[in-house]
């Protein structure tokens, strides 16, 4: 193969305050219930809104089977022109299969995919020309110089001599390859390997970039460099970015698509998804004293108390708060009343990792049990 390539129903507020010990209800179970209601509202019409905006990627009711295995199940979503969308999911969720269908490596068994309005099954040569693809394993010809490899890619892409020179100059500048342009690829660092992979993906000026784990195996500094590069490549181009690094999604993407067991379970702007996660707000407590856990259970502002590893006489807890109530003041007053020594008390804001876990934990557990 060529290298080109709503809130959970838990009763009313009074019931919640007079509940059995709230630690019996996990914060993840609460959030999962809320997201189940949200998922039921992710309809085909919502995924592909008729809002007058231009959508460069449009996936409608796509299913892909491998024998008895349903890899992608009636999947629908759309990505706007110029949008950087994160495409997330646990291993085996159908992400890579979806990307391979977008780039015409696979053909859907049912449903349709349009790229810039063109059906991939009716004119895959035209849709392939609109896409730049960086696979997860980033296949490169290691014995070539960077300059030779990019010239080879330009020839495969059918660029004219004038286009070739102009595109090469622009691509090398965009990806920062000036200092290694005449070096053998096998001598390059992992970070520069990824830059070369990105360069081949954008060389023909595609309107869409599909990037599968572009920062896999990079050190923190290299991740930041590639992340900034991807952000700069957006704007005029649509970018679909698959990654397991949530910080990259928060810092790079405008929208998040989450797939689990071949189904779309979330499709929201990053800020909205984090806002929905406010049910996961928690407090970290480190204290010394007697009957701390039983005392915390008496507070109405607390829904769950999770003991953590203790350090000597200091006891540590992660405490989930009920709704929008901030429990820190109640905890402070209770500690003062009971003569506890407070070593640490701070709120832990919900992270995208927490949201991702809540949306996909069932699928992950099923996959692990199957193995």
pLDDT score recorded for residue 243: 85
pLDDT score recorded for residue 279: 63
Closest CA to 141 of 191, 215, 200: 200
Strand duo 110-115 + 55-66: pairing? antiparallel
The model's pLDDT over 258-267, given as tens digits with 9 standing for 90+, comes to 999 999 998 9
The CA radius of gyration of the chain, in Å to the nearest whole number, is: 25
The model's pLDDT over 74-103, given as tens digits with 9 standing for 90+, comes to 999 999 999 999 999 888 899 999 999 999
Torsion of CA 351, 352, 356, 358, to 10 degrees: 30
For the chain, what are the domain ranges?
A: 37-275, 282-348
* Band of residue 29 on the pLDDT scale cut at 50, 70, 90: low
CATH pick for 282-348 out of 3.40.50.2300, 1.10.260.40, 3.20.10.10, 3.30.70.3190: 3.30.70.3190
pLDDT at 11 exceeding the cut of 50: no
- Topology alike, domains 37-275 and 282-348: no
* Band of residue 349 on the pLDDT scale cut at 50, 70, 90: confident
The model's pLDDT over 208-250, given as tens digits with 9 standing for 90+, comes to 999 998 888 788 888 888 888 888 877 778 999 998 888 888 8
Q: Choose the weakest-confidence range: 127-131, 274-278, 361-365.
A: 361-365
- Give pTM, 2 decimals: 0.72
pLDDT more than 70, % of the chain = 81
pLDDT at 14 exceeding the cut of 60: no
pLDDT score recorded for residue 273: 79
Average pLDDT over residues 35-43: 49
pLDDT score recorded for residue 52: 62
Q: Is there a contact between 321 and 302 (Cβ–Cβ < 8 Å)?
A: yes
Tell me which fold the domain 37-275 belongs to: Rossmann fold (3.40.50)
């Amino acid at each position: 193969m060529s290298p080109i390539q709503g809130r959970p129903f838990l009763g009313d507020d009074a019931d919640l305050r007079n509940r059995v010990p709230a630690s019996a209800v996990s914060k993840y179970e609460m959030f999962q219930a809320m997201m189940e209601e949200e998922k039921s509202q992710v309809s085909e019409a919502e995924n592909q809104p008729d809002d007058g905006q231009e959508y460069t990627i449009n996936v409608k009711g796509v299913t892909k089977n491998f024998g008895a295995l349903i890899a992608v199940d009636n999947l629908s979503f759309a990505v706007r022109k110029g949008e950087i969308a994160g495409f997330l999911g646990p291993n085996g969720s159908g992400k890579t299969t979806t990307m391979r269908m977008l780039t015409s490596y696979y053909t859907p068994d049912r449903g349709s995919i349009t790229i810039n309005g063109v059906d991939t099954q009716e004119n895959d040569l035209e849709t392939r020309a609109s896409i730049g693809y960086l696979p997860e394993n980033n296949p490169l010809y290691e014995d070539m110089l960077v300059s030779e490899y990019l010239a080879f890619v330009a020839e495969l892409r059918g660029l004219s001599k004038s286009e070739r020179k102009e595109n090469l100059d622009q691509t090398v500048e965009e990806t920062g390859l000036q200092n290694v342009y005449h070096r053998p690829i096998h001598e390059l660092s992992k970070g520069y390997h990824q830059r070369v992979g990105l360069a081949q993906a954008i060389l023909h000026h595609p309107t869409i970039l599909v990037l599968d784990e572009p920062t896999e195996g990079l050190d923190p500094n290299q991740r930041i460099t590639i992340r900034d590069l991807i952000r700069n490549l957006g704007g005029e181009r649509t970018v679909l970015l698959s990654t397991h690094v949530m910080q990259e999604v928060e810092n790079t993407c405008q929208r998040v698509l989450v797939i689990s067991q071949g189904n779309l379970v979330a499709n929201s702007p990053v800020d909205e998804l984090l806002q929905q996660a406010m049910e996961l707000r928690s407090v970290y407590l480190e204290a010394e004293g007697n009957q701390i856990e039983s005392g915390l259970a008496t507070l109405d502002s607390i829904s769950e108390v999770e003991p953590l590893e203790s350090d000597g006489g200091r006891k540590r807890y992660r405490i989930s708060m009920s709704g929008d109530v901030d429990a820190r003041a109640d905890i402070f007053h209770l500690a003062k009343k009971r003569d506890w020594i407070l070593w640490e008390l701070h709120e832990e804001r919900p992270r995208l990792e927490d949201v991702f876990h809540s949306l996909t934990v069932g699928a992950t557990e099923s996959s692990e049990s199957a193995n």
